[in-house]
Structure 1
Amino acid sequence: MEASDIMTRPVVTTTADSPLMDAVVKLTEGGFAGLPVVDEERRVIGMITEVDAIRAAEEVRHAPSVPPSRTVGDVMNRPVEVVSPHTDVNDIAQRMLTDRVRSLPVVDNGVLVGIVSRRDVLRPLVRPDDVVASHVQAVLDAYSAPDRRWTAEVKDRVAVVRGEFVDSPERDVVISLVHTVPGVMDVRVEG
Structure 2
Amino acid sequence: MGIKSFQGRRAEPEKVESAPILVEDYMTRSLITFKKDQLVIEVMQALLDNKISGAPVVNENNELVGIISDGDCMKQISESRYYNMPIGDMQIEKYMDTDVQTIDRKMNIFDCASLFYKHNCRRFPIVENGKLVGQISRKDILCAAMDLRSQNWHC
Partner of 1:74: 94
- How far the C-alpha of 1:17 sits from its partner, in A, is 0.6
Structure 1 contact 33–103 (Cα < 8 Å) conserved: no
Residue 106 (str. 1) matches residue 126 (str. 2): yes
- How far the C-alpha of 1:121 sits from its partner, in A, is 0.4
Call closer, same or farther: CA 1:40–1:77 in 2, change over 3 Å: same
CA distance in 1, matches of 2:88, 2:40: 9
- How far the C-alpha of 1:91 sits from its partner, in A, is 1.9
Residue 8 (str. 1) matches residue 35 (str. 2): no
- How far the C-alpha of 1:125 sits from its partner, in A, is 2.2
CA deviation string 1:111-164 (max 9, x = no partner): 11111011100002224xx8xxxxxxxxxxxxxxxxxxxxxxxxxxxxxxxxxx
CA distance in 2, matches of 1:72, 1:125: 34
Q: How many pairs are equivalent?
A: 129
Matches within 5 A, 1:152-163: none
Residue 45 (str. 1) matches residue 65 (str. 2): yes
- How far the C-alpha of 1:25 sits from its partner, in A, is 1.1
Structure 2 contact 109–144 (Cα < 8 Å) conserved: no
Residue 27 (str. 1) matches residue 65 (str. 2): no
CA distance in 2, matches of 1:60, 1:107: 34
TM-score computed with the length of structure 2 as normaliser: 0.76
Q: Which runs of 5+ in 1 are unaligned?
A: 131-191
Q: What letter is aligned with 2:66?
A: G
- Aligned residue for 2:56, secondary structure, equals strand
CA distance in 2, matches of 1:116, 1:80: 13
Quick one: higher RCO (CA 8 Å, sep 6+), 1 or 2?
A: 2
Residue 57 (str. 1) matches residue 77 (str. 2): yes
Residue 83 (str. 1) matches residue 103 (str. 2): yes
Q: Which runs of 5+ in 2 are unaligned?
A: 1-20, 151-155
Q: Which has the larger share of strand?
A: 1
CA distance in 2, matches of 1:12, 1:112: 11
